[in-house]
Structure 1
């Protein structure tokens, strides 16, 4: 099995190591600031039945149908069996209207980070993984599908921890021997759910194809705690914490 790594977490662990070497008295400040991306272990996935009515659902399907083929990203076809489209204007506008609703579900004030449309084919699969904190909260909306396709979640895990411990935890989830409670939910078109992808292992087994044209169209709206847009980006840490050495960490400038 290949470790489905979070690039952000690698930068986080690298930053902790660097701060411990060059400014050890600042390490607790850094860790405290990053605690905004932890999730209360009492959080439970929130299922929202009928989030969209038939008219709103049809409008979204028409929007998707009108997206030009050349706007769709192909780089996840091989690993995930899906086409994706990031931050399509209509969906970004929709996300802005959801802030209060998602804040109430999450139990904290949030702000939009990014969104993407995910068009899974009959090769669709999503291996166990954690998201980066830029997707601390994910509002997952089912637009259309051939059949219900469950998504599985662990209970909230302690985060962030040592990288080796996280890898072993991931292996345990993959091998069905995890000590975490695993819960599976299936959405119907128009239904949605909120989960905390940076603190919950989550995955989808291969989509059941059975020789048919299997598919699942999903919208993912990602939210972060209000006021954390700068600190969630590792490229800003050297400036925000006044530790220039953090800029020497390889590949510290992740994509926005």
Structure 2
């Protein structure tokens, strides 16, 4: 198990903290060379230092995944530095307004969530598949959400964009189904991360109450299932949305 990702190169976005960091740590511990990408330079360097201290092979990149030139440059740098890209996990994202009915929802906030959560997923996937085709192999995992499947009231921006990510996974997964490149999504329920600090207590309580296990998930639990999805073992799964929801998912 601890050599499952030997000789593989993985690019993880949103990797400075939370789910992205946990996934990167998990696959690095199993032999991958990880490229940590984030927009938060200071936190990213702190995480990279932790990884190096643990003996992981790691490099870092600063980029805004909503900026096409920066995404293209980031993927090209991975190829220049490592010669290939085997895995891309897009974990970067924001929540935006919570406890906010659509009638009060600011359009500029909706646009910001689109740029990061959906446009960012599109751009990272667009350039990752091109890099992976050169090597004839690839695993892509996009972070969706149970809110994108079931819808969370008073969070229309977040729910809409995560629904869009689900559509992106299903469409692009079919496009590349015969090219040894899989494209899947993961839809967590509420996971205990720093992102939740910006979620109102009322919204958080509502979402947690819908989880039959009656608790938040952990980033380590997300990393465990993500590691399988992006491993060579998951060779007959593409265009699919996996759940990690503590029983909340109904389909």
**TM superposition score category, shorter chain reference:** under 0.3
Give the number of the structure with larger relative contact order, counting CA–CA contacts within 8 Å between residues 6 or more apart: 1
Larger helix fraction of residues: 2
Structure-2-length-normalised TM-score: 0.25
Larger strand fraction of residues: 1
Structure-1-length-normalised TM-score: 0.24
Q: Which of the pair has more CA radius of gyration?
A: 1
